[in-house]
Structure 1
């Protein structure tokens, strides 16, 4: 009797065989992980908040994982240059990405063409911190309070420059929201990261910034920058004498930055689980929590699923703000 060839049955058997081979491979990947240096790509320049937080985490992950974790700064295009580089990396757990509200919740609404997909190209691990933005001015500027800034900007339309870490960053949109709510005409000056913007602010090349607190707070403490207000709904415990923008004269104003860790989409689940567990331990470490708090940040630790749901809600929120403000990428 002739044997009948069933291509469908052969396809099913091939699929089952491939799955059987993949399971021990995935387990092996986790067992041997990590066996070499892990890189965290930071999409902004060294010295800014994203960089500061990434280095705090990298130091502790090195201890947790027993392999060096290094930071690679790839600034530009509001975080899109670093994001695109990370998205193209092998999905093996050796490339991490320090994402922000800008890279993963704002840019998709701001840029007509994105070089990566914030959802499909990345595997969320956990949010790391929420950070207030701090409205700061060069001490040589003639205003000290929110009402004085508003009055000065209205008396000098187009003459008050505010810097940011890049178009579409939370620092930029904090300023756009302020302009919109106060009906003032101020000029946005984008930089490739917070650090170079702060340098020009210190040199009085720009008048103000709505900077992330970690990159500005030490300059405030040293008296090199004048704190005017924080962008959050509540005052910061690190600067309790500095009012919120809302209580200082702009009711309803609120803007918060957040930062989180990702790896590349398609990374084997056992490796993702190992990274997620190590990150959770780092964020529970008293030393890490103290360092983040000293920078004005609030530590946040989530599961990958919780972080993914949060990103979706933030994307919906900021898309509306971008549309209402008319902000565009330069």
Structure 2
């Protein structure tokens, strides 16, 4: 199904309104307005896909039995009308437009950012109009997704060894979904450890990057399995290797980049949910509980698994520690590899 720019999904939640959102709406149940999941990339890419699964999980009728009670502090909504959960794509500036919109939003529990690990990588590459750590409230990690090295099906490059050899003989280009995302750093790490040169060609999302890869306008991509899986299944792309430390159980015939010729290579991407700075801890905790319950439902777990995603959904405190550690880790890699923003 072709994703629309805005997907409205019914969300049967009933949560007391956070203190800063009370006043004119006092006495109403939270959320009294649609919850916005802002995705800072175009529709169709992996961040968008994960965000839509999360929104659907919140809207799930089967999830509502457990999650609505958790959100309402034990009350199951008491007949409150369903409220939409809206996925909004705000692409541009390597994710800064959408993220900035959430950073400026009121912390009333109605606006959240769905972003990839790029959220804590890009600030190490180029200045941002916000502080990726201080201006947001971590809610939960949604999923981890392996990256896969892909080339067009018609490419003469059939494995990692051939990719290394080709890169040493002639200039090659690699596409990525944005500057500073895991796919970008995956290419830079490949260059560093493989001792080859590849020219980075950034796009505004995986969708446009894949379009040019499929048209053979760029040579290779280190893409999220979530966005490349369909093209691989349909024979339009060839998978050379996965970027994880071990082979994927679902694709045991795909080698890891490390075992295929670049020892020590390992990188994955992850997706999380943030609120604006000042989001009440109770609201963050209840949203995490709702997502944990919803994403555990078979249909949503199956959608994540089909994208190669591993569901995580830790509590806010654990996610906050993880985000800080990831920012430190990526910052070190950017400095040591001399990676620059473009």
- TM-score over 0.5 for the pair: yes
How far, CA to CA, are the matches of 1:153 and 1:207 in structure 2? Answer: 10
Determine which of 103, 107, 113 is the counterpart of 2:122: 107
Q: Output the aligned Cα RMSD.
A: 1.8
Number of aligned residues? 304
| C-alpha distance after superposition, 1:54-89 (max 9, x if no partner) | 011111212346321111111122211211111111
Determine which of 179, 184, 190 is the counterpart of 2:196: 184
Structure 2: which 5+ residue stretches go unaligned? 1-18, 69-81
Contact 2:36 2:86 in 1 (8 A): yes
Contact 1:37 1:70 in 2 (8 A): yes
Q: 2:160 corresponds to which residue?
A: 146
| C-alpha distance after superposition, 1:172-201 (max 9, x if no partner) | 000000001111111100000111000111
Distance 1:61 1:30, change over 3 A: farther
Determine which of 81, 92, 105 is the counterpart of 2:108: 92
Determine which of 119, 122, 138 is the counterpart of 1:124: 138
Q: 2:76 corresponds to which residue?
A: none
What TM-score does the superposition give when structure 2 sets the normalisation length?
0.85
How far, CA to CA, are the matches of 2:160 and 2:26 in structure 1? Answer: 54
| C-alpha distance after superposition, 1:93-131 (max 9, x if no partner) | 11111022111x2112111x2111111111111101011
How far, CA to CA, are the matches of 1:53 and 1:264 in structure 2? Answer: 20
How far, CA to CA, are the matches of 1:238 and 1:190 in structure 2? Answer: 29
How far, CA to CA, are the matches of 1:152 and 1:328 in structure 2? Answer: 24
Q: 2:177 corresponds to which residue?
A: 165
Secondary structure of 2:302's counterpart equals helix
Q: 1:74 corresponds to which residue?
A: 90
Secondary structure of 1:261's counterpart equals strand
Q: 1:318 corresponds to which residue?
A: 330
How far, CA to CA, are the matches of 2:339 and 2:294 in structure 1? Answer: 36
Greater helix content: 1
Secondary structure of 2:83's counterpart equals coil
Q: Which runs of 4+ in 1 moved over 4 A?
A: 22-26, 28-31
Work out which of the two has the higher radius of gyration on C-alpha atoms and give 1 or 2: 1
